[in-house]
Structure 1
Amino acid sequence: MNKFAGRQILAWAVSAFFVLGGAMNIVAPTFIMEDYARWGYPAWFHYVTGALELLCAGLLVPRKTRAAGAILGVLVMGSAVLTLAVHGEWTHVVLPALVLIALAAICFGSRDGESLT
């Protein structure tokens, strides 16, 4: 598999993660609403998170907007990591931290210094 194909697959995989996460946040089953309430966010905030995740997903797919999608994804996942860390929910930090690593690989993972976007 060439570098381009690997980057494309990673971008699509992370995009799929954000589609799933965005949909879950917008639909917001009871357990998600309870999480947001426990963290002190307003009742409507899950819509903001879901919309940002869906936007990120859409931006990650085309090469021309991939860097913008990665930056937005870093902001969203960084906020998730910060929220979880502040509330001591360390076991839940793992997934958003892995997504942060994948986003970094999408943008900066080339060994030859060439951008992956």
Structure 2
Amino acid sequence: MSETSSRDWPRRLLIGFYWFLAAEFVLGAMTKFAPGETVFGPAYSVKFADWGYPSWFRFVIGGVELICAILLVVPRRRARFLGAGALVVVLVGAVVTHVANQDPIYESVSAPLHLAIMAAIAWASRPAHWRELRPVRRVPLSDQG
């Protein structure tokens, strides 16, 4: 095995993980667009109404999930950051919805798990100028001597 390929496998594994997550969110979006029952139970139009949202809101959430899934696999850091960041917002809403509605744990475990993953991806993909933990102190020109 060459030295280049041995150093390249962690990057390829990470890209595969992004594609896996994107596939999950595409599947989730498609189930929100589906008119009837899904592999995950009742129709999302019914679920959203039971949660207290208008049934059409599933299309908004499904659309955001679909766009974000695409952004996760675009090979640009900024796209991945935007996709993961938007999914963090959606998943915070999902977690709050599941907690507020006291859904069973087997229905509620996916949202917090994916929230943690997307928060980690957003943090790792944040813009370079945000990585400085403390702002750079600017010295006025008059004080430089």
For structure 1, which runs of at least 5 residues remain unmatched after alignment? 110-114
Does the aligned pair in 1 maintain the 2:18–2:73 contact within 8 Å? yes
Among 67, 85, 93, which residue is 2:108 paired with? Answer: 93
- Determine the structure 2 residue equivalent to 1:79: 93
Structure 2, unpaired ranges of 5+: 1-7, 125-130, 132-145
Please, what is the CA RMSD of the aligned residues? 2.1
Q: Deviations over 1:81-109 (max 9, x none)?
A: 11111111141221111112222333446
In structure 2, which of residues 24, 28, 40 is the aligned counterpart of residue 21 of structure 1?
28
User: TM-score scaled to structure 1, two decimals?
Assistant: 0.83
Assess if the C-alpha contact under 8 Å between 2:46 and 2:55 holds in 1: no
Alignment match of 2:83 (pick from 59, 69, 74): 69
Give percent identity, aligned residues only: 33
TM-score, normalized by length of structure 2?
0.68
**Structure having the larger proportion of residues in helix:** 1
- For residue 45 of structure 2, the aligned residue among 19, 25, 33 is 33
**Contact 2:71/2:82 (CA < 8 Å) preserved in 1?**
yes
Structure of greater relative contact order (alpha carbons < 8 Å, 6+ residues apart): 1
Structure 1 letter corresponding to 2:99: A
Do the aligned partners of 2:48 and 2:58 also contact (CA within 8 Å) in 1? yes
